[in-house]
A and B are shown apart, each in its own frame.
Chain A
Amino acid sequence: MREVAVIGIGQTRVEEHWDKSLREIAGEAVLLALQECGLEQAESLYVGNMMSGSANRQQHLGSYIADWVGMRYTEGYHIEAACSSGAAAFRSALMAVASGSVDSAIAVGVEKMTDSPGGEITTQLATAADADWEADMGLSFVAINALIMQRYLHEYHWSKDDFAGFSINAHANGAHNPFARFQEPINKAGYQKAPMIAEPINLLDASPMGDGAAAAVLIPLDNIRKQAGQKLVKVVASTAATDTIAAHSRKNPIWLSAAEKSVKQAYNQAGISPNDIGVFELHDAFTIMAALSLEACGFAEPGQGPRAAIEEQICPKGRIPISTRGGLKARGHPVGATGMYQIVEVVQQLRGEAGETQVERPVYGMSQNIGGSGSNIITHIFKSE
């Protein structure tokens, strides 16, 4: 396998892009990523997206986006893995380049959620779960996460307020990210007063939806003529694992087995340990998921995830900075685009381009994208050189 570097990134702000279509926002991210590295096109294109078939009445996004960005004749595919579609697209692009099959690839994650009414989007999000045995019973995707959080509070004796720090950190960081959906800090009182969605999950535990796209260009490391002072970001690990589609089928519904499996393999591939990770963009779709990710990835003992937030270990100056550009909570969670936003943000950190929320000289950065309630978990580790 060849070593692969990320040489261009692009993103749109996560918001309600009423005046723009799915292909316009995806095209914007792709063209920004190409412009940044001076390429006109790439040999293959992978479009991560969860729900365009129902939300936008459009599938076949490989051809759709290639056509739009002037890359007719390029190879192109639509990659779907629910909320982990973005990282799945990146991993597909990576495998294509690393294998030697192509010499350049673009991964773009895109989701255009505001074309459909909220109730329909709620139904569509639930298709990430088991239709017959979870969604048909009247559960939303939030409800499944609420069941996990409620049990977690019960078993480990945390109170709901102990999760406030995850949301406060995300919003504090998002305030400095021009691409974030929310750019206002919040405080503990605000968290406590937020309206309940499905107890114990309130509005400030949950990430907001939105429209957005983020993209990256990948080429073999050997094809880069490095310029003096230029920081290169190479991919040093890419792993994925599935788990049962329904949360109720897991031996322990409050432990992310697929995260543990994929991250262990990722640390092995990179030849590092959790202590080497300088920045971690995790999947804080809900505050409980941030806690469970930290535990599964070796940054907290089982049941002790909230402590990392309470002790501010997760802040940009802390031991394990997370959600440094706002995370899903404040940057926003345009479902199939999220995994690509995480990767773009890790690249920004490794290049030293993260502005006010720059982590001090990270060498390794990790992103982890979770599909469903923990049923598909993709981990990437990047290194700055």
Chain B
Amino acid sequence: MEIPRHWRLKKQRYGLVGEVCPHCDAKIFPPRDVCPHCGGEAKTAFNFSGRGEVYSYTVMHDAPAGFDQNTPYAVALVKLEEGPVVTAQLTDLGEEQPRIGMPVEMVTRKIREDANERGMLIYGYKFRPVLR
């Protein structure tokens, strides 16, 4: 696994730190330094709330290498309340079936474990149903 690449993304993976555009106020995640809405430079950090809803979902039965011990698991496009859509796993579903429109919130969880490479663990965001 490419350690520097994951290390570099820790603020986003652990804290959903994105950007806000100083020109049009668009909230941007993941950060990309150029605002996708107005094209202006956007480097101001912005902390997302982590709340959103499921925009779409699926369940993985046939996983890529490194994830196969977790199948089946649900993944989703989550629309954050500030606007952007992110791709992430769903977690803590219990008996609940994922559904479009389901309110969810971000939690930090283990995403991947690489048994071959010194037991390296990758942590990052997943989303769970909002507790009622």
Contact = CB atoms under 8 A, between A and B. Distances in A.
A197 B88 CA distance: 18
A136 B100 contact: no
A196 B61 contact: yes
A29 interface: no
A122 B87 contact: no
Contacts of B30: 132-133
A236 interface: no
B60 A248 contact: no
B77 A151 contact: yes
Contact of B85 (A135, A142, A248): A248
Contact of A136 (B57, B59, B76, B122): B122
B58 A146 contact: yes
Interface of B: 5-6, 9, 30, 36, 55-68, 70, 73, 75-77, 84-89, 100, 111-112, 122, 124
Contact of A199 (B59, B86, B100): B59
B56 A138 contact: no
A142 B62 contact: yes
A137 B89 contact: yes
A133 B57 CA distance: 16
Given A147-B57, A147-B58, A198-B59, 19 more contacts: A123-B66, A132-B5, A133-B86, A136-B124, A137-B87, A137-B88, A138-B111, A140-B60, A140-B64, A143-B75, A147-B56, A147-B77, A148-B56, A150-B56, A150-B57, A151-B56, A197-B62, A198-B61, A201-B58
Contacts of A197: 61-62
A154 B36 CA distance: 26
B64 A126 contact: yes
Contact of B63 (A140, A199, A247, A249): A140
Contact of A253 (B36, B77, B88, B100): B77
A21 to B, nearest CB: 24
